[in-house]
Amino acid sequence: MDLINTAAIVTGGASGLGAAVVRALAGRGAQVYALDLPEAISDIPAGIDIHYLAVNVTNVDEVRSAVAKAAAGAPLRTVVNCAGILPTMRILGRKGVHDPDVFEKVIQVNLMGSFNVLTAAADAISKTQPDDHGQRGVVINTASIAAFEGQIGQVAYASSKAAIVGMTLPAARDLAQYGIRVNSIAPGIVETPMMATVSDEIRQTLAANVTFPQRLARPDEFAHLALSIIENDYINGETIRMDGALRMSPQ
């Protein structure tokens, strides 16, 4: 799928994986609408091809308004959902039973946020003219290898990401009649701002557990994979692991 003169939406677009995808899509000629929380985008200047919109992905009205803005000009073709949170809490811990409010918030942001953007964007994309092959667009959601090997304390996070994996194929089947593909990427341990708070010793230990290459993944590698999925029209209904053959241990 050609990205030139099309619109794209990236959630969590202010930093980490989302920011890398924003740069990659703009570099391929797309008009990119980067959605993130107000405090995340307050100091980021907009560019010619990059527009930052303050959106909480759990708010359906905010999501729909942002999608309408993105779809108002060039045809909306691409959506990459990167917004997410990663609190940890054991089912039974030193402070008691897992807080159901924490579990619900993780599901709301990671799963419902992706679903809200997926549905609103699919509606807008379905109204565009298809290309010569009947294709209108592609949605990429961000899962995690925690969907398959969730660690101790990750019951909420792993559940939300496993649901992203489970949503991928039926969503692709639902939207096939509109020429919209749906895929997911399940990254391993990526060098994001969150990792900047971790000590060098812990980072080295994490890297040593990766089969090959023995290092943390880079956000630009995630973005490169997203571009590959977007440009390969035959990748549909798939969850692709990007983890250096890492299989997570219990902790």
β 239-242/180-187 pair status: parallel
Task: Output the pLDDT for position 106.
Answer: 97
Cβ(188)–Cβ(214) under 8 Å? no
pLDDT band at 237 (very low <50, low <70, confident <90, very high): very high
Mean pLDDT in residue range 3-10 = 96
Tell me if 200 is assigned to some domain: no
Check pLDDT > 90 for residue 202.
no
- On whether residue 238 sits in a domain, the answer given is yes
Assigned domain for 208 exists = no
Tokens of 109: 């942001």
pLDDT: which is higher, 48 or 123: 123
Say if 50 falls within a structural domain.
Answer: yes
For the stretch 132-162, pLDDT in tens is 999 999 999 999 999 999 999 999 999 999 9
- Chain-wide mean pLDDT for the chain? 95
Q: Is 157 a catalytic residue?
A: yes
The two tokens of residue 68 are 């309408």
Strands annotated E in 88-178: 92-93, 96-97, 137-142
CATH code assigned at 145: 3.40.50.720
pLDDT at 199 over 90: no
Quickly list DSSP for 52-103: EEE--TT-HHHHHHHHHHHTSSSPEEEEEE---------SEETTEEPPHHHH
Output the pLDDT for position 193.
80
What digits encode the pLDDT tens for the residues 92-121?
999 899 999 999 999 999 999 999 999 999
Full residue range of the structural domain in which residue 59 is found: 7-190+219-242
207 or 98, greater pLDDT = 98
- In the chain, the percentage of residues whose pLDDT exceeds 90 is 88
User: Cα separation of 148 and 188, whole Å?
Assistant: 11
pLDDT band per the 50, 70, 90 thresholds, residue 200:
confident
How do residues 62-78 score in pLDDT, each as one tens digit? 999 999 999 999 999 99
Is 207 within a domain?
A: no
Lowest mean pLDDT among 2-11, 128-137, 203-212: 203-212
Q: Is residue 227 part of a domain?
A: yes
Which tops the pLDDT comparison, 199 or 132? 132
Q: Is residue 209 assigned to a domain? A: no
Residue 204: predicted pLDDT: 85
Domain count of the fold of the chain: 1
Q: Check pLDDT > 80 for residue 194.
A: no
The active-site residue, picked from 33, 52, 157, 178, is 157
Q: How confident is the model at residue 197 (pLDDT cuts 50, 70, 90)?
A: low
Please report the pLDDT score of residue 89 as a whole number. 94
Q: Provide the pLDDT for residue 78.
A: 98
Residue 195 lies in a domain: no
